[in-house]
Homo-oligomer: A and B are copies of this chain.
């Protein structure tokens, strides 16, 4: 078999996996944002009648995965693997969702890059001949993330202007070896990059170098230009990080022009008091599962690169004075 690999970090699929369906569930704030209409389901509040935000997040992830299966009229028994991850310690949202799904389960951790990582790994497992259907699911929740990473939301602390707002949302994508839909044609697995940013209220800056590195490596590996893509969407650098990533790419001779945006910039608007934009695994997963896939299917976007960006620190590592390592994983989706 020929190695399906080009350059240092990129794999190119021989039989590009099909995105059969997708589903997104979000909280009220995301539903009120500019992409509100693109989401499949908007919860009235963040707890949804559950006894804790953590259980609510796990339930939201389950709803997204069930929704993706329903959209494609696929039964659980037809799914070969479930790939999932989230931000919570020991990825409990995913573990508890996997308990309910009862599918062979591969747990991933890539912080906010997890949807792109899941799509990349899932595509390799399908193109490699190990599965016909794979369900990828990723979630985050504003209140679970705030109290784990920062402060209890009840405290009402003032947020830094560079801080991002963790999205309450879960997105799921159903990948298939056959069928009709957009296809994942290549993926670039990122390296961990650390520019010694220690400010946990500026994760966009911590992740921007990794996103820039992955985009740069993708184009070097695959011998293409940003103009060959109708959209490059990172997720989730926010406004601060997006500017920095553009600047870093420019310094490396890559002009992304106007078709480089960020899921964290798209999901809220200026009236929503989110400061630097959205973040959290849920952000890029719901923007991708909703708006971006809809625009690809509508023919508005022909070839999209989703670059999931993860800040790979923990509260413990930050308190111990460590800087914030970043990672970016890219997948290319074509109509």
Contacts and interface: CB of A to CB of B under 8 A. Distances in A.
Interface string A302-326: 0000000000111111001010010
A116 to B, nearest CB: 11
A90 B15 CA distance: 33
Interface string A92-105: 10011011011111
A249 interface: no
Contacts of A192: 95, 98-99, 101-102, 105
A190 interface: yes
A59 to B, nearest CB: 13
Contact of A1 (B102, B129, B191, B194): B129
Contacts of A102: 191-192
A90 B109 contact: yes
Contact of A130 (B8, B124, B314, B317): B124
Contact of A314 (B88, B117, B125): B88
A209 to B, nearest CB: 12
A179 interface: no
Given A4-B129, A109-B109, A104 B320 contact: no
A265 interface: no
A41 B307 CA distance: 39
B312 A89 contact: no
Interface residues of A, number: 65
A157 to B, nearest CB: 20
Nearest to A128: B128
Nearest to A323: B99
28 contacts: A1-B15, A2-B129, A54-B316, A54-B320, A87-B90, A89-B316, A90-B313, A91-B109, A92-B313, A92-B317, A96-B317, A96-B325, A98-B192, A98-B312, A102-B192, A103-B191, A105-B191, A106-B110, A106-B117, A106-B121, A107-B108, A107-B109, A107-B110, A107-B312, A124-B124, A124-B125, A128-B128, A128-B129
